[in-house]
Amino acid sequence: MTHYLTVASELILGFFMLFILVKALGKTQLSQITPFDFISALILGELIGNAVYDHETTWVEIVFSTIVWGGLIYGVEIITQKFKKTRKALEGEPNIVIHNGFIKYETLKKAKLDINQLQSLVRQQGYFSLQEVQYAILETNGSISVLPKSPNRPPTLDDLNIQAEEASIPTTLILDGEVLYGNLKEAGLSEQWLKNELSKQNFHTYDEVLYSEWKKIRNSLSYRINKSG
């Protein structure tokens, strides 16, 4: 029983250490992961895993190894932020793999990327022929950014000479039957206004509403209400 308690306590400790480390390193570690970040995450996970199942490892060693490795990763992040010349070596750099409609074979070869992989990455961007692409850039995280040729580019409102309304973000007012008073205040609305709008839809209590949002569209109000239950 003592063994299971020890494993559980070390797992909990490792969980919180990893949680704190991820928060400290920032969200870019998840959304813009580079090969270095990937290897760092694997090693960090291995450190925690070995520490949990190695009976001779104490919680002090778990904390120490996590802090040291996390400090190294954080140090690299600080270096790349302050010294631009180190970014190429530590983070890599984007590579243009299609330039002005022509495939740059030497760049593909350098990036260890073949034509089939390039086609797959381009298809994931919505273009099923390399002939539709004017420029393609292989990003440091392995994804690809595509600039299509003019005939293959979706028309914009400017192309159609249409003047668009200013974009706005919907504001959630009720979530799971509870009013988000902060959002209501930020939108410049009153609770009485909300009650009146709910009443128009035959809702008399907040508990009846699963979700409600408000959006300003052409100086008018738009809202959607879904009944809970």
In this chain, the answer to whether the domains covering 95-152 and 171-227 adopt an identical fold is: yes
Tokens (6 digits) for 45: 């996970």
pLDDT range class, residue 24, cuts 50, 70, 90: low
Of 42 and 193, more confident: 193
CATH number for the domain formed by residue range(s) 171-227: 3.30.240.20
- Where do the structural domains in the chain lie, given as residue ranges? 2-88, 95-152, 171-227
pLDDT at 107 over 80: yes
How many other CB atoms are there within 10 angstroms of residue 170's CB atom?
14
Place of tokens 């996970």: 45
Burial 35-65 (b: 16+ CB within 10 A, else e): eebeebbeebeebbeebbeeeeeeeeebeeb
How many other CB atoms are there within 10 angstroms of residue 220's CB atom?
7
Q: Which of 169, 147, 156 is nearest to 217 (CA)?
A: 169
144 burial (CB, 10 Å; 0-12 / 13-18 / 19+) is buried
**Long-range CB contacts (within 8 A, 24+) of 50-53:** 51/10, 51/14, 52/7, 52/10, 52/11, 52/14, 53/7
pLDDT at 1 over 80: no
Give the pLDDT score at 179: 92
pLDDT at 31 over 70: no
Of 160 and 3, more confident: 160
**At the top level of CATH, which class does the domain 95-152 belong to?**
alpha beta
Burial 88-100 (b: 16+ CB within 10 A, else e): eeebbeebebbee
